[in-house]
A and B are shown apart, each in its own frame.
Chain A
Amino acid sequence: MSTDLDLFLANVSLISLLAIIGISLYGILARPNIIKKIIALTIFTDAANLLAILVGFRRPPSAPPVLLNLQPSPSEIAEFSSTAVDPLPQALVLTAVVIGMAVNMLIIFIALQLYRLYGTLDVRKVRRLRG
């Protein structure tokens, strides 16, 4: 019974993440305001990162991927590698978060420049002003 509940909760988080990705894609594509597009993009990034972490998760008994003993015996290492969660998605996400922040800053700088040059953040009006 409890494993069914675990599985149900895992499914809820997985499917709501997919729903969030859908909503944020709608925001990126359909909203005309660039600031709203950027907000939707950050939501998309966070949902993708959380999805990666969720894929790396495993049901209890689980442990963080950190060895507490600095002189581990072979049996300790065997136990550690069979209970710890997958460290690879965490490693990918930790760089992606910081790099994503830098890329977001670049996009914000470009949006700011766009506002200075055109006086608007509406994509349709920026397009009309061109040429």
Chain B
Amino acid sequence: MKRELITALSLTATVLVVAYISTLGGGLGPLFSDTRPLAKVFLSTTLDPNKPMFTAMSPEGVTAIVWDYRGLDTLFETAVFYLAIIGAVAVYRDVSEKVVLKGGGVGLSKIVKLVTKLLIPMNIAIAISIALHGHLTPGGGFQAGAAMAVVPMILIVVFSRYFLLEVKISKGLALALRSIGLIGIAFTVFLPIIIALISGVNSYIMQNQVKFGAPFSFPAFFGDSLISGSLILYNLFELLAVTFGFSILFLLLSIEESLVKEQMGGEGSEH
């Protein structure tokens, strides 16, 4: 106990001393005092109707970078997400989800169940509004998906795993909905190319607004409201992909351990 205290104190003292010395030198001053030129380019073009060739038509700089300026980055990050979940599903490949309803699940008490019933619609509404306003206010598909993924987790904890089977929320359904999200993202990525091939103009992959020599553009306005072209589509499809990607993992993790061992039976002796 005493040793840990001494370690913690000496570490804190080292950090403070090094920070004080570097403050005297003033070495890190320029790091926090000015906006970088690259950031200025992003910030000055994120919503500027007077520069139609450069703008992303979204007042939210972060979403504009995520799905427009550096869209391919995000596309491949989504691929990493997809592969991580496929890997987890592959670990469970031998385990069938058809759990025997041994007496069924009971779940938590009536009070908890009632409060959860009231809270879950609000949670879903908040997640969808985070996704739908992702191009206007801080938020977007990833955050909305993380907020929405709480719902299946709470359902498993409060109502038990068997309740989800009864209302037909299975691994297969989650996989299908996640695939719909991913296909939607891929469709939005290739839509400019398809339209360009049909109408005989040029366009780029993941193009959002008009670019030089590529007159294709997603509509920036729907009626009077700003929808920022493809950004709202990407956010909605990413919401689907992230929500049901995490749902698959929670559903797999909550299968009873004894049932998993039963189904894997004898595999341990091979290693």
A residues touching B (Cβ–Cβ < 8 Å)?
4, 6-8, 10-12, 14-16, 19, 55-59, 64-72, 74, 77-78, 80-82, 84-88, 90-92, 94-99, 101-103, 105-106, 108-110, 112-113, 116-118, 129-130
Contacts and interface: CB of A to CB of B under 8 A. Distances in A.
A93 to B, nearest CB: 9
Contacts of A4: 23
A90 B65 CA distance: 9
B249 interface: yes
Interface string B117-135: 0000000000000000000
B16 interface: yes
Interface of B: 11, 14-16, 18-20, 22-23, 26, 28-29, 31-36, 38-40, 42-44, 46-50, 59-66, 70, 73-74, 77, 80-81, 84-85, 87-88, 91-92, 137-138, 140, 142-143, 145-146, 226, 242, 245-246, 249, 252-253, 260-261, 264, 267-268, 271
Nearest to B261: A116
A94 B66 contact: yes
Contacts of A11: 18-20, 22-23, 28
Given A106-B84, A109-B91, A116-B260, A87 B74 contact: no
Given A7-B28, A81-B44, 15 more contacts: A12-B19, A55-B31, A58-B33, A67-B46, A68-B59, A72-B48, A88-B70, A91-B70, A94-B66, A95-B66, A97-B146, A103-B80, A105-B249, A105-B253, A106-B85
A10 B47 contact: no
A11 B32 CA distance: 11
A68 B136 CA distance: 9
Contact of A95 (B88, B142, B246, B267): B142
B33 A15 contact: no
Contacts of A92: 73
Contacts, number: 176
14 contacts: A8-B19, A10-B31, A12-B16, A56-B39, A58-B32, A66-B62, A66-B137, A72-B48, A88-B38, A91-B62, A94-B142, A98-B81, A109-B91, A109-B249
Given A91-B66, A105-B84, A129-B271, A84 B28 contact: no
A84 B39 CA distance: 9
Contacts of B26: 7
B226 A70 contact: yes
A15 B22 contact: yes
Contacts of A118: 268, 271
Contacts of A82: 35, 40
Contacts of A69: 59
A86 B18 CA distance: 26
A58 B35 contact: yes
Contacts of A129: 271
Contacts of A105: 84-85, 88, 246, 249, 253
B106 to A, nearest CB: 24
A86 B36 contact: yes
A120 B184 CA distance: 42
Given A8-B23, A11-B23, A99-B77, A81 B28 contact: no
Most chain B CB inside 10 Å of its own CB: which residue of A4, A10, A102, A118 = A102
Given A11-B23, A19-B15, A102-B81, A67 B47 contact: yes
Contacts of A96: 77
A81 B268 contact: no
B11 A19 contact: yes
Contacts of B91: 109-110, 112-113
A71 B191 CA distance: 28
